[in-house]
Amino acid sequence: MKRREFMALLGSAVAAWPLAARAQQAERMRRIGVLLVLAEGDPEAQRRIAIIQKGLETFGWIDGRNIRIDFRWTAGDPDRLRAHAKELVRLSPDVILSGSTVALAALHRETRTVPIVFAQVTDPVGAGFVASLAHPGGNITGFANYEVGIGVKWLELLKQIAPDVSRVEIIYDPANPLAAELIRSIDTGAPSLAVQVSSSAIRNSADIERAINALADQRNGGLVVFAAPLTGVHRDVIIDLAARHRLPAVYGFRYFVESGGLASYGIDNNDLYRRAVSYVDRVRKGEKPANLPIQYPTKFELVINLKTAKALGLDVPIPVLARTDEVIE
């Protein structure tokens, strides 16, 4: 081969190499959908983004390099939730990571084939998402937060911190398919605690204001606030109204207490996202959600905001403080 022909051939190979490399890189690119229920700018939401991205990186999945992560945020808006669930399913990702019971419910309505890994879902068997904990049997698996029996624990905690409370209002999102079960759990414990319980379904901040203002017109009131997209998005409204009307309130997750709420009893929900990422990796590598068992947390944490307690004129009993995992002052 003459030198001129050799150089021409080499030049063609060099020119073709970037195209081949880019095609190979595109072929390696995988897609992961993420459906979260808070507003994107919420500090708690930003914490979850960091957890998901960092967790994926530990398994070698780098956003923009070998995976594309499609985040969708609902900010507690049910219409946006339905639209984003449809959109993510239409994108046909390798796997969708879903946060919260209502987000999983929206995705469950849209697909029985796209693999879904969830975090922070209540009683996935009772809600009809999976066949069993050991053998989910479909396209869904993940990490549950608690069983519905926890509801009475929230009521007990409220009475321990504020013994004078005799009327409790439950604030809940009716979109949660297990809200009724949680309410029943609380109702069963109410007589032994000498508490009258009622509940308010909320769909916006105006509903929240009406429910809490109505409770404030009565004596010795208190709140149990279910964790949900709407209560999470509007937690500042709830916490401010509770403070204004001097109403003790118990919540399901610590980030409510970090925002100024009185107390919470539940799991470290962000740890569920860390663990869920491991299932996303396993599904991405070929394992089936049907064969990955549902996992529940083994540790629950009690968090109390002493500054809020003091503002409400409450002295948290020593036995309660002794078992508190974190005190915010």
State both tokens at 27: 């072929």
Hey, where are the domains in the chain? Answer: 9-145+268-291, 150-266+301-328
**What is the reported pTM?**
0.85
Confidence at 7, pLDDT banded by 50, 70, 90: very low
pLDDT at 1: 52
Domains 9-145+268-291 and 150-266+301-328 share a fold: yes
Residue 228: is its pLDDT beyond 90? no
- d(CA 35, CA 133) in angstroms, rounded, equals 22
CB atoms within 10 A of CB 310: 12
Sign of CA dihedral 196, 202, 208, 213: negative
- Quick one: fold of 150-266+301-328? Rossmann fold (3.40.50)
Q: Are 98 and 118 in contact (CB under 8 A)?
A: yes
Say which CATH architecture domain 9-145+268-291 belongs to: 3-Layer(aba) Sandwich (3.40)
How many Å apart are CA 219 and CA 19, to the nearest integer? 74
**Torsion over CA: 288, 290, 293, 295 (sign):** positive
Q: Would you state the torsion angle of the CA atoms of residues 259, 260, 262, 268, taken in this order, to the nearest 10 degrees?
A: 20
- C-alpha span between 136 and 128 (Å, rounded): 10
Over the stretch 90-132, which tens digit does the pLDDT of each residue have?
999 999 999 999 999 999 999 999 999 999 998 999 889 999 9
Contact 136, 292 (CB under 8 A): yes
The span from the CA of 110 to the CA of 99, in Å, is 16
Q: What percentage of the chain carries pLDDT values higher than 90?
A: 81
Mean pLDDT of 226-243: 94
Closest C-alpha among 248, 32, 59, 49 to residue 154: 248
Q: What is the mean pLDDT of residues 35-39?
A: 94
Are 146 and 266 in contact by the 8 Å Cβ rule? The answer is yes
Do 107 and 97 touch, CB atoms closer than 8 A?
A: no
pLDDT of 3 strictly over 70: no
pLDDT tens readout for residues 119-165: 999 899 988 999 999 999 999 999 999 888 899 999 999 999 999 99
Side-chain half-sphere CA neighbours of 2 within 13 A: 3
Are 130 and 98 spatial neighbours (Cβ–Cβ below 8 Å)?
A: no
How sure is the predictor about 28, in pLDDT bands with cuts at 50, 70 and 90? low
